Amino acid sequence: MVGPLQAALWSLKPDLVAVSGDLTQRARRSEFEQARAFLDSLPRPQIVVPGNHDIPMDNVMVRFLLPLAAYRRHITRDLAPFYTDEEIAVAGVNTARSLTIKSGRINQRQVTGVYNRLCVLSPRVTRIIVTHHPFEIPEGYHEGWLVGRAHMAMQQLAACGADVFLAGHLHVSFTGHTAARYQICGHSALVVQAGTAISTRGRGEWNSFNVLRIEHPVIHVEQFAWRERNSAFAPVNREQFRHTPEGWVPA
């Protein structure tokens, strides 16, 4: 499945590849080495953030004293990656924490850093936030799956016109918006949740990845899923969203 995923991504010729965490299962060196080789085989540039599985579970001392040492050694030392061009700005945020097993958190320092980078940009630049833990969840999921301090972060990021929130963690594909949960006047960001690209933890879904095609003020979200019969990833769903005075809405 790795080979077909690589082939699909290279054929799409993306301007940017976003990886929303959980590059490993148990944060072991061999797993990080494989993850590094995998990332090296994909198109660049890339925005990569860690997930809760990228913090060691077995070694308690390392977990609390050097939680992301292996991630920084093998993947990237930059825990606040940022990419910008004439059309998009993408800010990666590390929400993985050693004090929790599954849940994550965003703090004021991180929000301020993203705020300062996004607020100076032209209104025509689409602002994208990449985290591991989500700002919105599908129906039926408990709020405990949300990133900690989400309301604080959303209030401030909305003031800079944050357009899109990308996340992982759930292993389930999902597209939604922030308007109902956060109820910020004139702001409704688009939420795009990644499924599982190559892991066997599919939660009943086919392995998949998302492609965003941004032509301001329109965003197309296309889901590519694994098709066993063809041994390839193929497009299975496409949604279109348009920016309005109330935020992003289905077009």
Q: What is the DSSP string of 11-56?
A: HH--S-EEE-S---SS--HHHHHHHHHHHHTS-SSEEE---GGGS-
The larger pLDDT score, comparing residue 151 to residue 60, is at 151
* Angle, alpha carbons 60-141-56 (nearest 5°): 15
pLDDT-wise least confident of 72-76, 199-203, 216-220, 240-244: 199-203
Q: Residue 203: is its pLDDT beyond 80?
A: no
Over the range 194-217, which residues count as b (16 or more CB within 10 Å of their CB) and which as e?
A: bbbbeeeeeeeebbbbbbbebeee
Q: What is the pLDDT of residues 101-145, one digit of tens each?
A: 789 999 999 999 999 999 999 999 999 999 999 999 999 999 999
Domains of the chain (ranges; CATH) run 2-13+84-250 (3.30.750.180)
Q: Residue 59: is its pLDDT beyond 90?
A: no
Q: Is the pTM of this model over 0.85?
A: yes
Task: pLDDT band for 209, please (50, 70, 90 cuts).
Answer: very high
Tokens of 106: 């965003």
CB contact at 8 A, 20 and 46: no
Beta strand spans in 38-163 (E): 46-48, 82-84, 88-92, 126-130
The SS3 of residue 67 is coil
Cβ within 8 Å of residue 120, ≥6 positions away: none
Q: Residue 43: is its pLDDT beyond 80?
A: yes
Interhelix angle 150-158/108-118, nearest 10 degrees: 20
Residue 60 has a pLDDT of: 82
Interatomic CA distance for residues 40 and 46, integer angstroms: 10
Residue 202 has a pLDDT of: 64
Q: CA–CA distance from 216 to each of 48, 83, 127, 166 (Å)?
A: 24, 17, 11, 18
Interatomic CA distance for residues 58 and 205, integer angstroms: 29
Q: Residue 57: is its pLDDT beyond 80?
A: yes
